[in-house]
Each structure stands twice: as structure tokens, then as C-alpha cells.
Amino acid sequence: MGGFIILFLLCVLSFQSSVLKVTHARFQATKCGDAGPDIHYPYKIKGQHQHTDSLPGFELLCKDNLTTIHFPSYGDLEVKSISYDTKNIHLLDPKKCVHHVFLNLNLSLTPFHYFYVLKNYTYLNCSTALPPPFVEVPCLSAASYHVYTVDSALPVPGSCEGVKTVAIPFAYSPYLSDSILGLRLTWDMSETEDSKTINHTRGSHTSRNLVIGSSMCVFVMVMLLLISTKIRVAARNNHQKEEQLLHS
Ligand SMILES: *[C@@H]1O[C@H](CO)[C@@H](O)[C@H](O)[C@H]1NC(C)=O
Ligand SMILES: *[C@@H]1O[C@H](CO)[C@@H](O)[C@H](O)[C@H]1NC(C)=O
Ligand SMILES: *[C@@H]1O[C@H](CO)[C@@H](O)[C@H](O)[C@H]1NC(C)=O
Ligand SMILES: *[C@@H]1O[C@H](CO)[C@@H](O)[C@H](O)[C@H]1NC(C)=O
Ligand SMILES: *[C@@H]1O[C@H](CO)[C@@H](O)[C@H](O)[C@H]1NC(C)=O
């Protein structure tokens, strides 16, 4: 009987671990390149047939060991890291011009928004350089024009043209290493998608599988017990028959 209990436990354990592998496939991370961030739900690599599902807008691209994300309003940005706990995705601009991204990136049809508090700034495009304290954005300026990010309340100087007013995390500053700070986005998942992730995989699924696994194992054990009892009874009958034959 002790043997049966051990067998039963082994059976339940092996069933459990195989099922857990399947349920956790959703959380199984993949990577693009050795140094890339872990990629799992709600993200996925586009075109890769993972067991996992993803949400719309969370498709990443993998090219030459580089993880990128495509925004129709801007283009491709490199994904430096993803923090699933804080829902923070850290991006880098391949052209190394964060204010070019701020100027063009439109997140309104995406699940993302900036991780930081925003303020409205106006981008000015000026034919002549403005005096200090104005500092032009080097990567947006050229010899014949000078681009500035200024407080949106400021009146537009005569030699300038207001390009656009956008809500962005900060104005240009030569002292700010903007490629490190700037491109942090956070994402929204609706309440149900979020709790579904948690309940589904960790809670109800596991306990339901435990019940299914145990019942299957109980069934197998009972069958084995019945068969072995039958064999034993048959053996005893045979034995009795042999004895009767011997006695007669
Ligand atoms: C990607 O990384 C792998 C493993 O480090 C390396 O063998 C391969 O050459 C890399 N491919 C490119 C295109 O850099
Ligand atoms: C962003 O895109 C939405 C939808 O396409 C549009 O309505 C909105 O005006 C755009 N915002 C900016 C700042 O361009
Ligand atoms: C920026 O300006 C727009 C339009 O005036 C306004 O709707 C929005 O709330 C402002 N955003 C911030 C962060 O102040
Ligand atoms: C600024 O103006 C120049 C020409 O006047 C133009 O080529 C350039 O694209 C403009 N830059 C921005 C950021 O609008
Ligand atoms: C997830 O579980 C919580 C509490 O355990 C419950 O309030 C919520 O309705 C569940 N969500 C779903 C989608 O089942």
C-alpha cells in the first residue's frame, strides 16, 4: 500500500510539472541577441511563433540582434530594457536625437505614454540664432536655421516660426544626457487583461490542473489496484485448484 502512495505522488508531481510548463509558456521569456531585454507577455517578437500570446501594439522587431519597436509616427526605436513590474520600457533613438522623437512621436493610438510628468513646450524654428539663455537643439538645427524648445507660454520671436507645441517630459538642455533619461514609456493594460494574466496563470489554472491531475492519478491507481487484486485472486484460485488436483 505504501508503494501505491509513492506512485500516486509521483504521478501527480509529473502531471503537475508538465502542465506548469504549458501554463508558464506565456511567461517564458525570449530574447533578441544576448544583451537584449527579456521579451514576454504582453510583448512578443513579430513573426516569431511563440506559444505565448501578446496584446496589439506590443510587437517588437528583432534584427541583427537588436530589439526594436516601430511607431508609425516616428519609425523604429531601439528597446534598451523593459521592466515588467513598473511597466517601463526604455527606448533609444538610433539617430540619437531625443527631441526629434519628442517632436514627431504620437502615442495616441498606442498603448504607451511617457513615463514622466509632461509639460507643454513649443518647438521654434528660427532663421537667426536667439541670444542666451536660449540653447538650440543641435541635432535639429543646421547652419541656416536654429531649433529651440521653449515654454509654450512664451510669445514667438519675430525671426522664428512655431513648429509645434507638444507635451513632452523636458525641454532641451545641453547638461541633460537626454538619450538616457528621455525615452521611457509606460503602458496601459485594461484591468481585466491585467487580472486575467494573474488569475489565469497563477491561480485558478494551477488549482484546476491540480484537481484534474489528482483525479487522473486516482483513476490510474484504482485501476492498478483492481488489476493487481484480480491477479492475486486468480493466482489464489489457481493455487487452490492445484491443491484440489493434488488431493484428488
Ligand atoms: C548575433 O549574436 C550571435 C550570438 O552572440 C552571433 O553569433 C551572431 O553573429 C550575431 N549576429 C549579428 C548579425 O550580429
Ligand atoms: C496624434 O494622432 C491622433 C490620431 O491620429 C490625432 O488625432 C492627433 O491630432 C495627433 N496628435 C498630434 C500632436 O499630432
Ligand atoms: C498642453 O496643451 C493642451 C492644449 O492646450 C492641453 O490640452 C494639455 O492638457 C496640455 N498638457 C499639459 C501637460 O499641460
Ligand atoms: C526649420 O526650417 C528649415 C527651413 O526653413 C527646414 O528645412 C527645417 O526642416 C525646419 N526644421 C524643423 C524642425 O521644423
Ligand atoms: C481575479 O481575481 C480577483 C481576486 O482574486 C477577482 O476580484 C477578479 O475578478 C479576478 N479577475 C478575473 C478576470 O477573473
SS3 content of the chain, % helix, strand, coil (to 5): 40, 25, 35
Q: How far does residue 200's CA lie from ligand 5's centre (Å)? A: 9
What does pLDDT average to over the chain?
80
Cell numbers representing residue 24 in the block: 508558464
Cell numbers representing residue 113 in the block: 505614454
In the predicted structure, residue 11 carries a pLDDT above the cut 70: no
Rounded CA gap, 105 and 92, in Å? 13
Among 67-71, 154-158, 222-226, name the one with the lowest average pLDDT: 222-226
Ligand with minimal distance to 119 CA? 3
Short-list 205, 170, 197, CA closest to 184: 170
Q: How far does residue 87's CA lie from ligand 2's centre (Å)? A: 24
Percent of the chain with pLDDT over 90: 33
Ligand 4 contacts (CB < 6 A) are 125, 140, 145, 147, 163
Q: How far does residue 173's CA lie from ligand 4's centre (Å)? A: 20
- The model carries a pTM of 0.68
